[in-house]
Amino acid sequence: MGEKISNLKKILSTSNQIIAFTGAGFSAESGISTFRGAGGLWSKYDPSIYANINYFNQDPTYYWNFFKDERYPVIKKAKPNDGHYALVKLEKQGKLYRIITQNIDGLHQIAGSSDVIELHGNTRKIFCMSCDKTYSIDDIYKRLKYELPPRCSCGGVLKPGTVLFGEPLPQYALDMAMLAAQNCDMCLVLGSSLVVYPAASIPRIAQKKGAVLVIINIDPTPLDDIANLVIHESASKILSRLIG
């Protein structure tokens, strides 16, 4: 492990256009449980009902009940962890120029990172499906006790700004992420199992374009074989040790 850490230190010191690619494992240490795997939310709630756009369009009350009972309390309580703050420092040092995240909790921005591309949207942003008017998560939560589904002043159904199954990723975010991947000199994958596509293609593109690919994730990933350095550890622990 010591050798890997000093390797990572070396790579960090010579890189000046770093992108960080963060996934569910990065937020897990902020108390936001992962969706997949044993004990994940999807083992309790069928995602084809609770997180699918076709089902949402048929009957959004399932989603909003799930949001009220499971998501809001967790999101409300979650605070950025040492890993989030280490990335803020890396940005202040002028080394990190962009974060690309699969997470929907907005914790990078709350920590103070300024350039965050959200591939799967942000659950703190709630918008009207008819007129795009936006609402705050706290205001809507209060209404959920007596209004299901919550509606906009125009009568349209409200939807959290997260990408549900069956929905495409926001094209603008995807384009920005691809561009960042093509122009970075280091891609730092943090707490992502790299199984959700097209998001997971971004580290691959970065490496193809000549960037050094470093993966820090507790479990093995499909890109471990091609990465320049792999550390199977908590990403926030490693980062805060190096940068914190």
Catalytic site positions: 120
Which range of residues in 78-86, 147-155, 160-168, 208-216 is near Zn ion by CB under 5 A? 147-155
Non-local CB neighbours of 48 within 8 Å, separated by 6+ positions: 55, 165
Give the separation between CA 224 and CA 213, rounded to whole angstroms: 9
Residue 131 class from Cβ within 10 Å (0-12 exposed, 13-18 middle, 19+ buried)?
exposed
Which range of residues in 154-162, 170-178, 194-202, 210-218 is near Zn ion by CB under 5 A? 154-162
Binding mask 42-81 for Zn ion (x = CB under 5 A): ----------------------------------------
Residue 133 binds Zn ion (CB under 5 A): yes
Binding mask 160-199 for Zn ion (x = CB under 5 A): ----------------------------------------
Residue 128 binds Zn ion (CB under 5 A): yes
Spatial contact of 8 and 231, defined as CB atoms under 8 Å apart: yes
Q: Judged by CB, which is closer to Zn ion: 133, or 208?
A: 133
Among 43, 131, 138, 195, interactor with Zn ion by CB under 5 A:
131
Q: Judged by CB, which is closer to Zn ion: 156, or 170?
A: 156
Q: How far is the CB of 140 from Zn ion (least distance, A)?
A: 13
Binding mask 98-117 for Zn ion (x = CB under 5 A): --------------------
Which range of residues in 46-54, 81-89, 91-99, 127-135 is near Zn ion by CB under 5 A? 127-135
User: Cβ–Cβ contacts within 10 Å for residue 45, how many?
Assistant: 18
205-234 residues near Zn ion, rule: CB under 5 A: none
Query: What is the chain's Cα-based Rg?
Result: 18
Which range of residues in 133-141, 171-179, 203-211, 217-225 is near Zn ion by CB under 5 A? 133-141
Among 14, 48, 130, 136, interactor with Zn ion by CB under 5 A:
130
Binding site for Zn ion (CB under 5 A): 128, 130-131, 133, 152, 154, 156
